[in-house]
């Protein structure tokens, strides 16, 4: 799949909006441990339905609880354990280098995540990545979380870049839907996907990337072109 970004705007910066979990970081193992603990603490005995939870990643945690019919009280221990284990989250190979290159090329970078803003910023600070981003926006900081377009539109407003020069990069159907609804280029990142990507591809992203560095071919230098 290919799409060209606003050929008449050569030399102007792009807004590159990243999802967090599964795109920038591999938090799957930590997320499972936090979910299992929260389930045991609030629900009690039984098998924690993490596989079902995993199908809804990209959404705000309380929304997932409502969809699954689980107690909203699970959020407190889930968040508590996520903070405790933050140092064990892995960063996907090639992502920091790609983002640094995008910044050197003059582009503006945001995170738009299903996490709350404070938790997302805390995780990125723990991992030494927070300085790579112009803004980090959580689902508690907009009126309607993904798959609504609000979080992507808010990122564009903060970055000062129009939709035709913006892209949303995610690994979940909700990321693609949010980007599409915001009128930006919707990019599926499959480097962090575990197993079947059929649902993600069925969402009809504009672009599918196998590796983070593939993004650079679609983001020419605004600095060089405008010099």
Tell me the pLDDT of the chain averaged across its residues. 92
**Mean pLDDT value across residues 68-77:** 97
pLDDT at 5 over 80: no
pLDDT at 227: 42
pLDDT at 195: 62
- 143: CATH: 3.40.50.1000
**Same-domain pairing of 51 and 137:** no
Residue 135 inside a domain? The answer is yes
Structure tokens at 194: 């575990």
Cis peptide before 147 (omega within 30 of 0): yes
**Mean pLDDT value across residues 194-211:** 90
pLDDT at 225 over 50: no
pTM: 0.91
**Same-domain pairing of 144 and 201:** yes
User: Residue 15 CB: number of other CB atoms within 10 A?
Assistant: 25
- Collapsing DSSP to helix, strand or coil, 139 comes out as helix
Nearest to 74 by CA among 120, 107, 41, 119: 41
Inter-residue long-range contacts of 186-191, CB under 8 Å, 24+ positions, other chains counted: 187/215, 189/19, 189/22, 189/23, 191/92, 191/94
**Same-domain pairing of 13 and 40:** no
Number of domains within the chain = 2
Q: CA 31 from chain center: how many Å? A: 15
**Same-domain pairing of 208 and 158:** yes
Question: What proportion of the chain, given as a percentage, has pLDDT over 90?
Answer: 87
**Mean pLDDT value across residues 32-40:** 97
Nearest to 185 by CA among 200, 198, 175: 175
**Same-domain pairing of 55 and 102:** no
pLDDT band (50, 70, 90) for residue 55:
confident
DSSP assignment of 184-227 equals SEEEEE-TT--S--HHHHHT--SEEESSGGGGGGGS--HHHHH-
pLDDT at 35 over 50: yes
**Same-domain pairing of 96 and 199:** yes
What confidence tens digit (pLDDT) does each residue in 126-169 have?
999 999 999 999 999 999 999 999 999 999 999 999 999 999 99
**Same-domain pairing of 160 and 71:** no
pLDDT band (50, 70, 90) for residue 223:
confident
pLDDT at 2: 40
**167, 179 in Cβ contact below 8 A?**
yes
Which residue in the block uniquely carries the two structure tokens 């030399």?
11
**Same-domain pairing of 15 and 103:** yes
**Same-domain pairing of 96 and 198:** yes
What confidence tens digit (pLDDT) does each residue in 81-133 have?
999 999 999 999 999 999 999 999 999 999 999 999 999 999 999 999 999 99
Name the more confident of 192 and 72: 72
């Amino acid at each position: 799949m290919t799409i060209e970004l606003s050929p008449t705007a050569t030399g102007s910066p792009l807004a590159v909006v990243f999802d967090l979990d599964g795109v920038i970081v591999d938090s799957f193992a930590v997320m499972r441990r936090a979910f299992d603990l929260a389930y045991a603490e609030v629900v009690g005995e039984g098998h924690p339905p993490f596989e079902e939870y995993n199908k809804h990643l990209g959404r705000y945690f309380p929304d997932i609880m409502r969809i699954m019919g689980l107690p909203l009280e699970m959020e407190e221990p889930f968040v508590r354990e996520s903070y405790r284990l933050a140092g064990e989250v892995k960063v996907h190979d090639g992502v920091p280098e790609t983002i640094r290159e995008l910044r050197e090329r003059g582009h503006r970078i945001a995170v738009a995540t299903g996490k709350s803003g404070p938790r997302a910023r805390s995780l990125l600070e723990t991992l030494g990545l927070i300085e790579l981003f112009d803004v980090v926006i959580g689902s508690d900081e907009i009126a309607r979380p993904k798959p609504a377009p609000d979080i992507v539109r808010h990122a564009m407003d903060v970055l000062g870049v129009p939709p035709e020069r913006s892209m949303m990069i995610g690994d979940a159907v909700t990321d693609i839907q949010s980007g599409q609804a915001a009128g930006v280029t919707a990019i599926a990142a499959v480097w962090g996907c575990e197993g079947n990507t059929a649902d993600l591809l069925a969402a009809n992203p504009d672009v599918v990337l196998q590796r983070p560095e593939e993004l650079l071919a679609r983001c020419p230098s605004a600095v060089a072109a405008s010099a």
